[in-house]
A and B are shown apart, each in its own frame.
Chain A
Amino acid sequence: MVVEYIQSILLLIAAFLVIVSAVGLVSLSKDMKNVVYGRIHIVGVFDIACIIAMIGLGQYLLAAIYFILAPFTAHAIANAFYKSEDVENNAELNIVEEDVENPNPFVVHKSKIQELEDVDSEKLKADDRFTISTLDIEEE
């Protein structure tokens, strides 16, 4: 009889923690800084509620297994988020490789044109498909 009371108290505590973590997951503001880590933290509360529920249901081995496995899951998800999507904290994700040399193909610097006009230009030799012809305009 006493064991049943203890079991039911454990199950009620687990149900309370599950409800609290569910409300926390939904009500966390989307604009908050580091909100994904906050949600992972809330899922930690849910994991402990699951372990309490398993103990209340008499599945001690399953509770021990989940007690070991749950932190690995949380760490793996946080690690994946940091490496692939966390633009706020991971500086490596903010580096964007841009071709700053020639942003507009139709506007070319004068020196490059002069390089191409040179007969001995290596770029001209490398590509036989193109020829360059220029007009000499003389000012009186």
Chain B
Amino acid sequence: MDILIISKYILIIAFVIMMIVALRVSAYKTTSMGLLGSSVVVVAFAIALLAFGSLYNLTFYRDISLALIFFGFVGTVAFAVVAGGDK
């Protein structure tokens, strides 16, 4: 088995572990921790999707991960602005 494929699988496993940890982090009591955890989950899912797409030669995975990263950023910043208040 090629070393590149093995390292891609290791990367996907690492990102799955990170997604589980981020779900745990988003369950902490402050709102900011929920925001942080959800943004990490989105980014980890996007990169795992990217690795999957490169494993099976699927091009549209890249578009989906680009959309996830960009709109995840927009949503996180928008929610943070609302949570921060007007001051």
- Where the two chains meet, the residues of A that have a C-beta atom closer than 8 Å to any C-beta of B are 4-5, 7-9, 11-12, 14-16, 18-19, 21-22, 25-26, 30, 36, 39-40, 43, 46-47, 50, 53-54, 56-59, 62, 65-66, 69, 72-73, 76-85, 92
Contacts and interface: CB of A to CB of B under 8 A. Distances in A.
Contact of A8 (B7, B14, B15, B31): B7
Contact of B77 (A5, A53, A76, A85): A76
B3 A46 contact: no
Interface size bucket, B side?
35 or more
A26 B4 contact: no
A77 B39 contact: yes
24 contacts: A8-B4, A11-B4, A11-B11, A12-B11, A15-B7, A15-B13, A15-B14, A16-B14, A22-B14, A25-B21, A25-B22, A26-B21, A46-B44, A50-B44, A56-B7, A57-B8, A62-B66, A79-B84, A80-B31, A80-B35, A80-B80, A83-B84, A84-B85, A85-B32
Nearest to B83: A80
B47 A53 contact: yes
A57 B18 contact: no
